[in-house]
Amino acid sequence: MTENLPSFFPYEEIKLYKICDASIGSDIYQLFQLCIKKFFSQDYKLAEEVCDELVDIIWERLNTGHWSQVTITWRQLYTLVSLIKAGAMLAHGQGKPQDALTVCDLGLVMGAPIMDNILNRLASYIHTNLLKDKPKPQDSKNYEEFKTKKQKMHNIIIKHPIQLVDCLSLESFKRLYMDSNQPVIFNGAMDHWPAMSNNKWSLDYLRKVAGERLVPIEVGSRYTDDSWSQTLITISQFIDGYICAKSPGETGYLAQHQLFDQIPELRSDICIPDYCCLSEGTEDEEPVINAWFGPEGTVSPLHYDPKHNFLAQVVGEKYVRLYDPQYTDALYPHTGCILENTSQVDVEAVDQESYPLFSSAPYTECVLKSGQMLYIPPKYWHYIRSLATSFSVSFWWS
């Protein structure tokens, strides 16, 4: 309908979209119809204004109560309104494409995919084709440092090493590790990933494919601290402010974010480990893939997750310590709050008086290096500190 929008913009699907949930309420439904009407009569300015009104109302709903209670209909509606708003902004061509990209990314972070992940495709299109003044790559010289600041030597002495293997058949992995809940590190299991070839994930590259994309950043030393918070900034801002920061400041961590659902270029640089096909879930259940990108010194406090996990180290190194779930009582989990899967103990500075049993709990540990992949069984406690600027990818699977 307008040359400012890409040919894949789904006009027909938007027109035919049915909100099939009465709980949305007739006010919002009518506002939504008005938004569609204005968009298709090319009154883009008014369409944008109605979208803003809808976004405010839906945002309120998305942020009320626990995230797990938010219904998919509200999240899909948020995506749809973000799509129309970004479409209106581009179509009427007066704003900056960067603003339309921000709208898409907010929709991707808070919404749920619709129409073959259209918001994802529109965001990639804007990033690749419409941003004229992307910051110039300036980090090439920093790459070696980015890759392994480990040269600083951390003097970590590994007393209780996690088993290391070079290659394992699916059957051996299942029998020796998965069925008996034993962690193991794989050497070389990621050698075929495009991300591992020629140090592909340099800072320049990340800026190029994703620099202007908005991502959630955890700010603060660890998520158990009172001062810990979250913010949304672009990847380039994150690199400038936290990865390449000249003076020491607060730690920023792009942690546990499904970046690969947001940025297809990065998704095509990684491969789902074959072992995930040993899933006990339904056949087409894909692992949840998270990115963990941060400077030296990020800490994930001792905690456990319910699923099998492969933690793949692409760039840099991390110190990892693991505790078998049978020692849970000696690890002093928080009680009566959402941190029940998290220990109260600071693993590397234990308060012996408050947590006397902690030091008696056996553990295994490693420095996880670039190219290595660690299998963490379900409910296994893990503590992780980055020893250098680091980029890891985790695969959680049932």
Ligand X SMILES: O=C(O)CCC(=O)C(=O)O
Q: Taking contact as CB under 6 A, which single stretch among the options 110-118, 129-137, 305-313, 354-362 is the one that binds ligand X?
A: 305-313
- Is residue 394 a contact point for ligand X (CB under 6 A)? yes
Contact 134, 154 (CB under 8 A): no
Angle at which helices 72-91 and 26-40 cross, to 10°: 20
Q: Which residue has the tokens 């030597």?
A: 153
Does the protein bind ligand X through residue 384 (CB under 6 A)?
A: yes
Query: How far apart (Å, rounded) are the C-alpha atoms in residues 381 and 325?
Result: 7
CB of 376 to ligand X, least distance (A): 7
For ligand X, which is the closer residue by CB, 137 or 333? 333
- The helix/strand/coil state of 390 is strand
Query: Which residue stretch of 3-11, 94-102, 280-288, 303-311 sits at the interface with ligand X (rule: CB under 6 A)?
Result: 303-311
Between 55 and 368, name the residue whose CB sits nearer to ligand X. 368
Burial class (CB in 10 A: 0-12, 13-18, 19+), 236: middle
Interface with ligand X, residue 83, by CB under 6 A:
no
Binder among 146, 292, 332, 375 for ligand X (CB under 6 A)? 292
Q: Which helix (H) or strand (E) holds 184?
A: strand 184-187
Q: Does 76 bind ligand X (CB under 6 A)?
A: no
The least distance separating ligand X from the CB of residue 228, rounded to whole angstroms, comes to 14
Q: Is position 392 an interface residue for ligand X (rule: CB under 6 A)?
A: yes
Q: Which is nearer to ligand X, 107 or 295 (CB)?
A: 295
- In the bound state with ligand X, the residue whose beta carbon lies nearer, of 237 and 342, is 342
Say if residues 197 and 218 touch (Cβ distance below 8 Å).
no
Crossing angle of the two packed helices 44-62 and 72-91, in degrees rounded to 10:
150
Residue 311 lies near ligand X (rule: CB under 6 A): yes
Number of residues located near ligand X, criterion CB under 6 A: 11
Contact with ligand X (CB under 6 A): which of 82, 309, 343, 389?
A: 309
Between CA 376 and CA 383 the distance in angstroms is 11
Output 240 or 317, the one with its CB closest to ligand X.
317
**Does residue 300 bind ligand X (CB under 6 A)?**
yes
Give one DSSP letter per residue of 101-153, joined into a string. HHHHHHHHHHS---TTTHHHHHHHHIIIII---PPPP--GGGHHHHH-GGGG-
Q: Which residues bind ligand X (CB under 6 A)?
A: 292, 298, 300, 305, 309, 311, 318, 382, 384, 392, 394
